[in-house]
Amino acid sequence: MTKGEILDIVSTLFTNGFEIDQTERFPKGNIIFNILKLDKLGAIVRYSILFTKDKNETQLTNSLITISKTFSSKPLIISDNFISQTCTTHTFQKFYAFFGGIINTGLILIPNLPDILDELGRNKLPIVLQGDAFDLHELYVKECFQFILQSPTRRYGKERLFESIPDGIVICKNGMMILYDSKAYINGFDFTADDIKRFASYVDEFNNRYSAILGKVFTFTVITGKFNPKVKSLEKRSKELYKKCNCNLSCITSRELGNIVKLIREEPDNRSSILWKNIFSELLIDTTLVQKEISRIKKDNLN
Protein backbone atom coordinates (compact mmCIF):
# COMPACT_ATOMS: atom_id res chain seq x y z
CA MET A 1 0.00 0.00 0.00
CA THR A 2 1.34 3.42 -0.90
CA LYS A 3 1.20 6.38 1.46
CA GLY A 4 -1.52 7.95 -0.69
CA GLU A 5 -3.62 4.78 -0.64
CA ILE A 6 -3.32 4.51 3.13
CA LEU A 7 -4.36 8.17 3.46
CA ASP A 8 -7.45 7.47 1.33
CA ILE A 9 -8.36 4.52 3.53
CA VAL A 10 -7.87 6.45 6.77
CA SER A 11 -9.82 9.44 5.45
CA THR A 12 -12.69 7.17 4.44
CA LEU A 13 -12.77 5.49 7.85
CA PHE A 14 -12.55 8.78 9.74
CA THR A 15 -15.30 10.55 7.83
CA ASN A 16 -17.63 7.60 8.32
CA GLY A 17 -17.35 7.61 12.09
CA PHE A 18 -14.70 4.96 12.74
CA GLU A 19 -11.87 5.32 15.23
CA ILE A 20 -8.59 3.57 14.47
CA ASP A 21 -7.58 1.75 17.61
CA GLN A 22 -4.46 0.03 16.29
CA THR A 23 -2.57 -0.68 13.06
CA GLU A 24 -0.40 -3.64 12.14
CA ARG A 25 2.04 -3.23 9.25
CA PHE A 26 3.45 -6.13 7.25
CA PRO A 27 5.91 -6.57 4.36
CA LYS A 28 4.97 -5.50 0.82
CA GLY A 29 2.83 -2.64 2.17
CA ASN A 30 0.12 -4.87 3.64
CA ILE A 31 -1.65 -3.37 6.63
CA ILE A 32 -4.34 -4.34 9.15
CA PHE A 33 -6.55 -1.69 10.76
CA ASN A 34 -8.37 -2.45 14.00
CA ILE A 35 -11.29 -0.03 13.98
CA LEU A 36 -14.39 0.64 16.05
CA LYS A 37 -17.45 2.86 16.14
CA LEU A 38 -20.66 3.28 18.11
CA ASP A 39 -23.86 2.08 16.50
CA LYS A 40 -27.10 4.05 16.91
CA LEU A 41 -27.91 2.25 20.16
CA GLY A 42 -24.51 2.98 21.71
CA ALA A 43 -22.93 -0.46 21.26
CA ILE A 44 -19.33 -0.66 20.06
CA VAL A 45 -18.86 -2.31 16.66
CA ARG A 46 -15.34 -3.62 15.95
CA TYR A 47 -13.62 -4.70 12.73
CA SER A 48 -10.13 -5.89 11.88
CA ILE A 49 -9.52 -5.18 8.20
CA LEU A 50 -6.60 -6.43 6.12
CA PHE A 51 -5.84 -4.27 3.08
CA THR A 52 -3.58 -6.21 0.72
CA LYS A 53 -2.21 -6.05 -2.82
CA ASP A 54 -0.84 -9.62 -2.70
CA LYS A 55 -1.68 -11.70 -5.77
CA ASN A 56 -2.70 -14.71 -3.71
CA GLU A 57 -3.92 -15.42 -0.20
CA THR A 58 -1.06 -15.83 2.29
CA GLN A 59 -0.47 -16.54 5.96
CA LEU A 60 -1.60 -12.97 6.62
CA THR A 61 -5.13 -14.35 6.78
CA ASN A 62 -4.16 -16.37 9.84
CA SER A 63 -2.55 -13.27 11.35
CA LEU A 64 -5.76 -11.33 10.70
CA ILE A 65 -7.89 -13.99 12.42
CA THR A 66 -5.56 -14.07 15.42
CA ILE A 67 -5.60 -10.28 15.73
CA SER A 68 -9.39 -10.15 15.37
CA LYS A 69 -9.80 -12.62 18.23
CA THR A 70 -7.63 -10.44 20.46
CA PHE A 71 -9.57 -7.34 19.40
CA SER A 72 -12.98 -9.12 19.63
CA SER A 73 -13.75 -7.96 16.11
CA LYS A 74 -15.04 -9.22 12.79
CA PRO A 75 -12.16 -9.93 10.33
CA LEU A 76 -12.44 -8.58 6.79
CA ILE A 77 -10.09 -8.69 3.80
CA ILE A 78 -9.96 -5.98 1.14
CA SER A 79 -8.30 -7.37 -2.00
CA ASP A 80 -8.71 -7.10 -5.76
CA ASN A 81 -6.76 -10.30 -6.41
CA PHE A 82 -8.29 -13.17 -4.42
CA ILE A 83 -11.28 -14.28 -2.37
CA SER A 84 -10.46 -15.84 0.96
CA GLN A 85 -11.98 -19.17 1.90
CA THR A 86 -12.04 -18.26 5.61
CA CYS A 87 -12.75 -14.49 5.77
CA THR A 88 -15.29 -12.17 4.18
CA THR A 89 -13.52 -10.53 1.24
CA HIS A 90 -14.39 -7.34 -0.65
CA THR A 91 -12.71 -5.47 -3.47
CA PHE A 92 -11.31 -1.97 -2.91
CA GLN A 93 -14.08 -0.58 -5.10
CA LYS A 94 -16.73 -2.24 -2.96
CA PHE A 95 -15.04 -1.01 0.23
CA TYR A 96 -15.22 2.61 -0.94
CA ALA A 97 -18.75 2.07 -2.31
CA PHE A 98 -19.94 1.00 1.15
CA PHE A 99 -19.03 4.41 2.52
CA GLY A 100 -19.33 6.70 -0.49
CA GLY A 101 -17.48 9.97 -0.95
CA ILE A 102 -17.81 13.36 0.70
CA ILE A 103 -21.45 14.13 1.39
CA ASN A 104 -22.48 17.73 0.73
CA THR A 105 -25.80 18.87 2.17
CA GLY A 106 -25.92 22.14 0.25
CA LEU A 107 -25.65 24.34 3.34
CA ILE A 108 -22.76 26.28 1.78
CA LEU A 109 -25.08 27.45 -1.03
CA ILE A 110 -27.29 29.53 1.28
CA PRO A 111 -27.10 33.17 0.01
CA ASN A 112 -26.98 34.73 3.50
CA LEU A 113 -24.53 32.16 4.90
CA PRO A 114 -22.30 34.77 6.67
CA ASP A 115 -25.34 36.17 8.52
CA ILE A 116 -26.59 32.71 9.48
CA LEU A 117 -23.15 31.67 10.75
CA ASP A 118 -22.73 34.93 12.66
CA GLU A 119 -25.99 34.40 14.54
CA LEU A 120 -25.23 30.75 15.26
CA GLY A 121 -21.73 31.68 16.42
CA ARG A 122 -23.32 34.02 18.97
CA ASN A 123 -25.61 31.20 20.10
CA LYS A 124 -28.66 32.79 18.50
CA LEU A 125 -31.07 30.70 16.45
CA PRO A 126 -31.98 32.38 13.12
CA ILE A 127 -35.72 32.53 12.52
CA VAL A 128 -35.30 30.40 9.37
CA LEU A 129 -33.81 27.47 11.34
CA GLN A 130 -35.01 24.99 13.92
CA GLY A 131 -32.89 23.19 16.50
CA ASP A 132 -30.04 24.01 18.86
CA ALA A 133 -27.81 26.92 17.84
CA PHE A 134 -24.68 25.36 19.33
CA ASP A 135 -25.26 22.09 17.48
CA LEU A 136 -26.14 23.81 14.21
CA HIS A 137 -23.01 25.96 14.43
CA GLU A 138 -20.91 22.78 14.60
CA LEU A 139 -22.74 21.36 11.57
CA TYR A 140 -22.31 24.50 9.46
CA VAL A 141 -18.62 24.82 10.40
CA LYS A 142 -18.01 21.24 9.31
CA GLU A 143 -19.70 21.84 5.95
CA CYS A 144 -17.74 25.04 5.37
CA PHE A 145 -14.36 23.45 6.10
CA GLN A 146 -15.17 20.49 3.90
CA PHE A 147 -16.07 22.81 1.04
CA ILE A 148 -13.18 25.29 1.12
CA LEU A 149 -10.47 22.70 1.83
CA GLN A 150 -11.90 20.02 -0.48
CA SER A 151 -10.95 17.44 2.13
CA PRO A 152 -12.63 14.78 4.26
CA THR A 153 -13.98 16.44 7.40
CA ARG A 154 -15.32 14.63 10.43
CA ARG A 155 -17.59 16.26 12.94
CA TYR A 156 -17.58 14.35 16.20
CA GLY A 157 -20.41 16.20 17.92
CA LYS A 158 -21.86 14.06 20.67
CA GLU A 159 -20.50 10.76 19.31
CA ARG A 160 -17.25 10.64 21.27
CA LEU A 161 -15.46 7.37 21.88
CA PHE A 162 -12.64 8.71 24.00
CA GLU A 163 -12.24 11.69 26.27
CA SER A 164 -9.73 14.05 24.64
CA ILE A 165 -11.43 14.85 21.36
CA PRO A 166 -12.32 18.15 19.64
CA ASP A 167 -15.45 19.03 17.70
CA GLY A 168 -13.92 17.97 14.41
CA ILE A 169 -10.95 17.10 12.24
CA VAL A 170 -10.01 17.97 8.64
CA ILE A 171 -7.66 15.61 6.82
CA CYS A 172 -6.33 17.89 4.09
CA LYS A 173 -4.98 16.50 0.84
CA ASN A 174 -1.54 18.05 1.29
CA GLY A 175 -0.93 16.18 4.53
CA MET A 176 -2.08 19.08 6.71
CA MET A 177 -4.26 17.90 9.58
CA ILE A 178 -6.51 20.47 11.26
CA LEU A 179 -8.34 19.98 14.54
CA TYR A 180 -11.08 22.48 15.31
CA ASP A 181 -13.53 23.55 17.99
CA SER A 182 -16.79 25.36 17.38
CA LYS A 183 -17.75 27.87 20.08
CA ALA A 184 -21.22 29.43 20.09
CA TYR A 185 -21.41 31.91 22.97
CA ILE A 186 -23.78 34.84 23.43
CA ASN A 187 -21.18 37.12 25.01
CA GLY A 188 -18.24 36.02 22.87
CA PHE A 189 -15.46 33.54 23.55
CA ASP A 190 -12.57 34.12 25.98
CA PHE A 191 -9.50 31.90 25.86
CA THR A 192 -8.48 30.63 29.28
CA ALA A 193 -5.45 28.67 30.40
CA ASP A 194 -7.75 25.64 30.79
CA ASP A 195 -8.87 25.99 27.16
CA ILE A 196 -5.28 25.93 25.95
CA LYS A 197 -4.53 22.95 28.17
CA ARG A 198 -7.55 21.12 26.76
CA PHE A 199 -6.65 21.97 23.14
CA ALA A 200 -3.12 20.70 23.76
CA SER A 201 -4.53 17.43 25.11
CA TYR A 202 -6.58 17.04 21.90
CA VAL A 203 -3.48 17.58 19.79
CA ASP A 204 -1.34 15.20 21.84
CA GLU A 205 -4.04 12.53 21.69
CA PHE A 206 -4.30 12.69 17.91
CA ASN A 207 -0.56 12.89 17.38
CA ASN A 208 -0.03 9.84 19.57
CA ARG A 209 -2.67 7.87 17.71
CA TYR A 210 -2.34 8.98 14.11
CA SER A 211 0.86 10.93 13.40
CA ALA A 212 2.58 7.82 11.99
CA ILE A 213 -0.13 7.66 9.31
CA LEU A 214 -1.37 11.22 8.88
CA GLY A 215 1.49 13.33 10.15
CA LYS A 216 1.25 15.70 13.10
CA VAL A 217 -1.58 18.17 13.65
CA PHE A 218 -0.66 21.41 11.90
CA THR A 219 -3.06 23.80 13.58
CA PHE A 220 -5.86 23.94 16.11
CA THR A 221 -8.60 26.24 14.83
CA VAL A 222 -11.31 27.91 16.91
CA ILE A 223 -14.45 29.28 15.26
CA THR A 224 -16.87 31.50 17.15
CA GLY A 225 -19.13 34.50 16.69
CA LYS A 226 -16.81 36.88 18.54
CA PHE A 227 -13.38 36.68 20.13
CA ASN A 228 -13.24 38.83 23.25
CA PRO A 229 -9.45 38.91 23.84
CA LYS A 230 -7.32 41.54 22.10
CA VAL A 231 -4.72 40.47 19.56
CA LYS A 232 -1.86 40.56 22.09
CA SER A 233 -3.81 38.28 24.40
CA LEU A 234 -4.51 35.88 21.53
CA GLU A 235 -0.82 35.89 20.62
CA LYS A 236 0.00 34.96 24.20
CA ARG A 237 -2.44 32.04 24.14
CA SER A 238 -1.06 30.92 20.79
CA LYS A 239 2.47 30.79 22.21
CA GLU A 240 1.18 28.81 25.21
CA LEU A 241 -0.36 26.21 22.91
CA TYR A 242 2.78 25.94 20.79
CA LYS A 243 4.94 25.41 23.86
CA LYS A 244 2.64 22.66 25.14
CA CYS A 245 2.18 20.64 21.95
CA ASN A 246 4.17 22.24 19.10
CA CYS A 247 0.98 23.20 17.27
CA ASN A 248 -0.29 26.47 15.80
CA LEU A 249 -3.45 28.22 16.96
CA SER A 250 -5.73 29.86 14.40
CA CYS A 251 -8.93 31.83 14.96
CA ILE A 252 -11.81 32.54 12.58
CA THR A 253 -15.02 34.36 13.36
CA SER A 254 -18.14 32.58 12.17
CA ARG A 255 -19.03 35.46 9.83
CA GLU A 256 -15.56 35.44 8.24
CA LEU A 257 -15.82 31.68 7.64
CA GLY A 258 -19.09 32.34 5.81
CA ASN A 259 -17.46 35.15 3.83
CA ILE A 260 -14.58 32.85 2.83
CA VAL A 261 -17.05 30.25 1.59
CA LYS A 262 -18.90 32.95 -0.35
CA LEU A 263 -15.63 34.12 -1.93
CA ILE A 264 -14.60 30.58 -2.89
CA ARG A 265 -18.02 29.98 -4.43
CA GLU A 266 -17.33 32.92 -6.75
CA GLU A 267 -13.81 31.65 -7.57
CA PRO A 268 -14.29 27.87 -8.03
CA ASP A 269 -11.46 27.49 -10.55
CA ASN A 270 -8.91 28.84 -8.05
CA ARG A 271 -9.92 26.79 -5.03
CA SER A 272 -7.52 23.90 -5.68
CA SER A 273 -4.52 26.21 -6.13
CA ILE A 274 -4.90 28.07 -2.85
CA LEU A 275 -2.05 27.39 -0.42
CA TRP A 276 -4.22 26.83 2.64
CA LYS A 277 -1.19 26.01 4.74
CA ASN A 278 -0.08 29.64 4.39
CA ILE A 279 -3.50 30.84 5.47
CA PHE A 280 -3.80 28.50 8.45
CA SER A 281 -0.34 29.54 9.60
CA GLU A 282 -1.88 32.85 10.63
CA LEU A 283 -3.35 33.48 14.06
CA LEU A 284 -6.30 35.50 12.73
CA ILE A 285 -7.82 34.21 9.50
CA ASP A 286 -10.10 36.37 7.38
CA THR A 287 -11.27 36.86 3.82
CA THR A 288 -8.38 39.21 3.00
CA LEU A 289 -5.87 36.36 3.32
CA VAL A 290 -7.85 34.20 0.90
CA GLN A 291 -8.27 37.10 -1.53
CA LYS A 292 -4.50 37.66 -1.55
CA GLU A 293 -3.99 33.99 -2.40
CA ILE A 294 -6.49 34.21 -5.26
CA SER A 295 -4.77 37.35 -6.59
CA ARG A 296 -1.41 35.54 -6.48
CA ILE A 297 -2.88 32.60 -8.39
CA LYS A 298 -4.32 34.85 -11.09
CA LYS A 299 -1.12 36.86 -11.39
CA ASP A 300 1.01 33.73 -11.80
CA ASN A 301 -1.56 31.94 -13.99
CA LEU A 302 -1.56 28.93 -11.65
CA ASN A 303 -5.12 27.73 -12.13
CATH number of the CATH domain containing 247: 3.40.91.30
Q: pLDDT tens-digit profile of 216-247? A: 999 999 999 999 988 889 999 999 999 999 99
Same domain, 114 and 23: no
Q: Which residues have CB under 8 Å from 27's CB, separation 6+?
A: none
Which residue segment(s) compose the domain that 26 sits in?
A: 3-99
Q: At what angle do helices 113-121 and 254-266 cross, to 10 degrees?
A: 160
**Total domains, the chain:** 2
Q: What is the pLDDT of residue 200?
A: 96
Taking the C-alpha atoms of 222, 227, 232 and 234 in order, what is their torsion angle to the nearest 10 degrees? Answer: -20
Give whole-number Cα distances, 57 to 25, 50, 52, 76, 86, in Å: 17, 11, 9, 13, 10
3-state SS class at 191: coil
Q: pLDDT tens-digit profile of 85-132? A: 999 999 999 998 887 655 566 778 888 999 999 999 999 999 888 899
Nearest to 47 by CA among 97, 15, 13, 92: 13
Compute the mean pLDDT over every residue in the chain, rounded to the nearest whole number: 89
Please give the residue that has the higher pLDDT: either 253 or 18.
Answer: 253
Q: pLDDT tens-digit profile of 250-301? A: 999 999 999 999 999 988 888 888 999 999 999 999 999 999 999 999 887 7
Q: What is the pLDDT of residue 98?
A: 81
Same domain, 177 and 291: yes
Same domain, 83 and 118: no
CATH number of the CATH domain containing 18: 3.40.1350
Same domain, 136 and 89: no
Domain boundary among 99, 116, 133: 99
Same domain, 165 and 256: yes
Taking the C-alpha atoms of 144, 145, 149 and 153 in order, what is their torsion angle to the nearest 10 degrees? Answer: -120
- In sequence order, what are the beta bridge partners of 217? 177
Q: What is the pLDDT of residue 120?
A: 96
pTM: 0.82
Q: What is the pLDDT of residue 35?
A: 92
Q: pLDDT tens-digit profile of 33-86? A: 999 887 666 678 899 999 999 999 999 999 999 999 999 999 999 999 999 999
Q: What is the pLDDT of residue 159?
A: 56
pLDDT band at 8 (very low <50, low <70, confident <90, very high): confident
CB contact at 8 A, 125 and 131: yes
Same domain, 273 and 185: yes
Same domain, 137 and 91: no
Same domain, 175 and 246: yes
Taking the C-alpha atoms of 97, 264, 274 and 2 in order, what is their torsion angle to the nearest 10 degrees? Answer: 0
Q: What is the rounded end-to-end Cα distance, in angstroms, of the chain? A: 31
Same domain, 13 and 156: no
Pairing of strands 153-155, 168-171: antiparallel
